[in-house]
Structure 1
């Protein structure tokens, strides 16, 4: 067997091992083995069973919640995530157990997952969502995304959107949302307009 074939076989074996390793967590979640905490969405009365250890390992905020005396003393602790729908909560928990998500689910729930990642202190999930938000940016949703970035003090997302708006200033300046944005963020507007002017000057030079 050639060295290249051996390397490929090794990579395949490693991938299978990883799938089996993380698959055990998913099976434990789906079969509700040894569950010790329940999560409830804001739009549903039925709680979803989960494991404190997984939640605490993925999120510092959940770790702090689960370390409270009340939570330790309870045999069936229920935590309500009122900001999420049932579908969003199920997708959120899938990430918590699997450490990843299919692209279709990430796209579908990217806004709610981004908010949850920020609220519950899950930087890796926030990075995934931020990248997806940046990839989906266009002249129609740029101001909405910039509002989100400002609310959550996400400088990386804000800088990417500001750069996008600067590049597309001629089109965006005549949109219906531009005036309300100017009124809400005059300093940022000035900054982006100056950036656009500098870009035009460089093109002329």
Structure 2
């Protein structure tokens, strides 16, 4: 009951007793108004697991890539990659081997691949090598069924398309089923100026021999 006149209060024995009045207040505090003084740091579990990789603690399999050896953990690799799962726990010869040899891959590429497997993110790379490394990593990601890494590489390459890289990137996109990346390359080559400059590169020669169907698409696109 809301009382707005003194006469109402004085005339009511239900509220005023012995010249005293008791008032009850309900206070509601919103959670949004509570300010925490504790700063919560960002998650660092990826760094902890990455340290486990570099220290080699508890590793049960190693990989020989080029002239380098990498120690790793079967259960982590198998959990992240269906190909590693088949190689390390399936009826393949690598199941009983403690050292697996990997061909046709650079050691620095495999090192980045392991980094992503253990942390789900890639370390910072110099701008001068990011295109080449993303191209190699895309091939490796496709090889081991790491779709998120593959998309990460596609994004890096899409952001750095130019006349010197577009042909090789387009060939890569066609060979590994990267439709978004292929579309970005084709869009770039719709400019006759860009196409003319790209045709003078070694990458375009590789494109014509490895992906003749893509070349036909380009010719049909620019034909009058």
Normalised by the length of structure 1, the TM-score is 0.77
Partner of 1:172: 195
1:34 aligns to 2:58 (yes or no): yes
| C-alpha RMSD of the superposition | 2.8
Inter-CA distance 49–193: structure 2 relative to 1 (3 Å threshold): same
Q: Distance in 2 between matches of 1:58 and 1:30?
A: 18
Map Cα deviations across residues 109-164 of structure 1 (whole Å, 9 max, x no partner): 21211110011100000011000011110012111111111111222211111111
Map Cα deviations across residues 12-61 of structure 1 (whole Å, 9 max, x no partner): 5151xx11x222211211221111111111x21x4211001111111111
Partner of 2:154: 130
Q: Distance in 2 between matches of 1:48 and 1:95?
A: 14
Inter-CA distance 145–4: structure 2 relative to 1 (3 Å threshold): farther
Pairing partner for 2:216 from 161, 181, 187: 187
Q: Distance in 1 between matches of 2:177 and 2:148?
A: 16
Which structure 1 segments of 5+ residues have no match? Answer: 198-205
1:98 aligns to 2:119 (yes or no): yes
Pairing partner for 1:60 from 69, 72, 82: 82
Pairwise CA distance, 1:170: 2.9
Inter-CA distance 192–71: structure 2 relative to 1 (3 Å threshold): same
Q: Distance in 2 between matches of 1:109 and 1:120?
A: 16
Pairing partner for 1:84 from 90, 105, 111: 105
Matches within 5 A, 1:3-42: 3=33, 6=36, 13=40, 15=42, 18-19=43-44, 21-41=45-65
Normalised by the length of structure 2, the TM-score is 0.71
Map Cα deviations across residues 90-126 of structure 1 (whole Å, 9 max, x no partner): 2221111111112316826212111100111000000
Q: Which has the higher contact order (CA 8 A, sep 6+)?
A: 1
Indicate if the aligned counterparts of 2:113 and 2:141 stay in contact, CA closer than 8 A: no
Q: Distance in 1 between matches of 2:178 and 2:57?
A: 37
Which one has the bigger helix percentage? 1
Which structure 2 segments of 5+ residues have no match? Answer: 1-31
Partner of 1:144: 168
Aligned residues: 184
